[in-house]
Amino acid sequence: MNYKEIEEIVKNTISEKRFRHSQGVAKRAVELASIYGEDIETARKIGIVHDIAKEMPRQEALTYAKENGIVFDEIEAKEPGLWHSKLGADIAVKKFGFTPDMVEAIIYHTTGNVNMNTMDKIIYVADKTDETRTIINRKEAVEISNNNLDEGILYIAKFMTEYSLKKDSLIHPDTINLINQLISKKKNGKLKS
């Protein structure tokens, strides 16, 4: 399925505000893919689809998860805001034919993960630094991530963790492990650009 066909389905699935964000993520993913040598069309497709399940009503999400064998871990079960990553990944496979590598980026776009590949990192960063984002110092996050992807992820993950704590949200262990991994690499001078 080509990008325009995917974009049209996404547009008819989510709100106008969420669609604008998704378009912004697709645009930002293309920018980062260009910088870091990843496939631009793949980045664009993942970017537009990443939040396809974000606005799924709670009961519908639970039913979808049950019917499709999607299991939420202990933290995800308590934080419905995390559900859309796994749900969206499943939809991306079934509706758009995304590959396992593509859906991995959707699964990790909210919490991050120590095993992220470059495309996963691009989508994680693009989600937090698209033009519609206002909760983070976007200009600084863009500048850092354009120069060093891992430094950008560390900056973003630390900020998002503090933001979540202020809202009394649970922090997923994947995020904590990612921050710890990146801080350790930074201390050892091994954060790659």
CB 110, CB 73: distance < 8 Å: no
What is the band of 193 on the pLDDT scale with cuts at 50, 70, 90?
low
Q: What is the mean pLDDT of the chain?
A: 96
What would the pLDDT profile of 42-85 be if each residue is shown by its tens digit? 999 999 999 999 999 999 999 999 999 999 999 999 999 999 99
With tokens 């500048």, the residue in question is 143
Residue type, 58: R
Say whether pTM exceeds 0.85: yes
Quick one: 138 exposed, middle or buried, by C-beta within 10 A (0-12, 13-18, 19+)?
middle
**Counts of helices then strands in the chain (DSSP H, E):** 11, 0
- What pLDDT is stored for residue 136 in this prediction? 84
Domains of the chain, start order = 3-187 (1.10.3210.10)
Instruction: Tell me the pLDDT tens digit for each residue of 127-149.
Output: 999 999 888 889 999 999 999 99
Cα dist from 35 to 4, 32, 43, 68, 115, whole Å: 23, 5, 12, 36, 21
Rounded CA gap, 37 and 10, in Å?
26
